[in-house]
Amino acid sequence: MVAADVGFAEASWIMVVKSLVIFAVILGLVPMILLLERKLLGRFQARYGPNRVGPKGLLQPLADVVKLLSKEAYKPDAAVPILWAIAPALVILSATATLAIIPFGDVADGNVGLYGIDVSIGILYAFAFGSISFYGLLLGGWSSGSKYSFMGAMRSAAQLISYEISMGLALLGVIMMAGSLSLVDIANAQADTIWYVIPQFVGFLIFMVAGFAETNRPPFDLPEADAELVAGYNTEYGGMRFGSYFMAEYMEMVVVSGIAAAMFLGGWHGPGPDWLGPIWMLAKIMVLICLFIWVRATLPRLRYDQLMSLGWKVLLPLATLNVLVTAVLVVVT
């Protein structure tokens, strides 16, 4: 893909190396988030959380992965063979590809951009690759040949599309203010002024609520509502294929948090010297992920009709109004 006009060309080996580094960092982050979530959830409920494997339970994610890896690879008779195997890989592909647009810093040393890719279409890149994950969920549910899987897949499909519009409109306010779609430009536009979370507070709220829904996180985990649907689209999956869905969900959490941090919370800008930038970015991502966990521990799951009316009757009009008001304010000031 053609990069935005940055005025320099990176050697291809630099691109490969930095992509690998970003991917490795986030891949390392996922087990930590997993443990953090279980620990925090434990504390929220006056429990200890996992504390048996390793000191203070620190090795718990490792044990989980080993367990998932040692499971039997099985396929239900009713499943459509190839599609059933491709579906979890599609979800991982979509989550990995969207990682590329999270910026961890501006161009450093004149020739290396601290981001996977900075394209002119910016945030639309995330939406485009996000639509692949939709097919991952739907194919997984459909090809399983189980009614629970299929109902879960249909639910998640309708939920994903209901909240995607509000998400897009919520970001439009920021895009109008910054005058760019590129996440790097948007983060830089907040360097000297206040973070966009203050003038765009409504947009930030809408984006985060839609983000909870897009990642199928509680209180919007209707597709895998275990009380009614067993486990939704991944009922028939086991082993690492189940793990793929699980991991993709956490990677998407990182992506949503990363986009929110770059667009609303000033990205890598913060007090201190420039080299602290990537650390600031990671810190902001972690704070937003703690918000995800906090919300999970606090709110009960919505009913499906409530979920739909929240998306269409509350968030969508609010987001539209936000766009109009922001447009007027941008022109007036």
User: 298: how many CB neighbours lie within 10 A of its CB?
Assistant: 10
| Minimal distance, residue 56 CB to other proteins, in Å | 28
Residues 65-104 that bind other proteins (CB under 8 A): 69-78, 83, 85-86, 88-97, 99-100
Helix, coil or strand: residue 197: coil
Whether 329 contacts 180, CB under 8 Å: no
Which residues, listed in sequence order, are joined to residue 113 by a DSSP beta bridge?
107
Q: Does 145 bind other proteins (CB under 8 A)?
A: yes
Distance CA 42, CA 110 (A): 46
Is residue 192 a contact residue for other proteins (CB under 8 A)?
A: no
Specify the residue, 51 or 120, whose C-beta has the smaller distance to other proteins. Answer: 120
Type of residue found at 171 = L
Least Å from the CB of residue 97 to other proteins: 5
47 counts as binding other proteins under rule CB under 8 A:
no
Minimum CB separation from other proteins for residue 266, in Å?
18
Using the rule CB under 8 A, is 179 a contact of other proteins? yes
Q: Is 113 helix (H, G, I), strand (E, B) or coil?
A: strand
Q: Which is nearer to other proteins, 76 or 278 (CB)?
A: 76
CA-closest candidate to residue 195, choices 207, 184, 186, 206: 186
Q: Minimal distance in Å, beta carbon 294 to other proteins? A: 28
Interface residues for other proteins in 6-35 (CB under 8 A)?
A: 15-16, 19-20, 23
Please, what sign has the CA dihedral across residues 294, 299, 300, 301? negative
Q: Does 177 bind other proteins (CB under 8 A)?
A: yes
Query: Is the separation of the CB atoms in 208 and 149 below 8 Å?
Result: no
Q: Pick from 108, 158, 202, 295: which binds other proteins (CB under 8 A)?
A: 158
Q: How many CB atoms lie within 10 A of CB 187?
A: 27
The residue with tokens 């991952």 is 136
CA of residue 225 relative to chain centroid, distance = 20
Least separation in angstroms between CB 21 and other proteins: 11
Closest CB to other proteins among residues 60, 149: 149
Site map (CB under 8 A) of other proteins, residues 112-131, x = contact: ----xx-xxxx-xx-xx-xx
Task: Considering only residues 275 through 314, tell me which ones interact with other proteins, judged by CB under 8 A.
Answer: 304-305, 308-309, 312-313
Query: Which 8-state DSSP code applies to residue 107?
Result: E
Looking at the Cβ atoms of 209 and 293, the one nearer to other proteins is 209
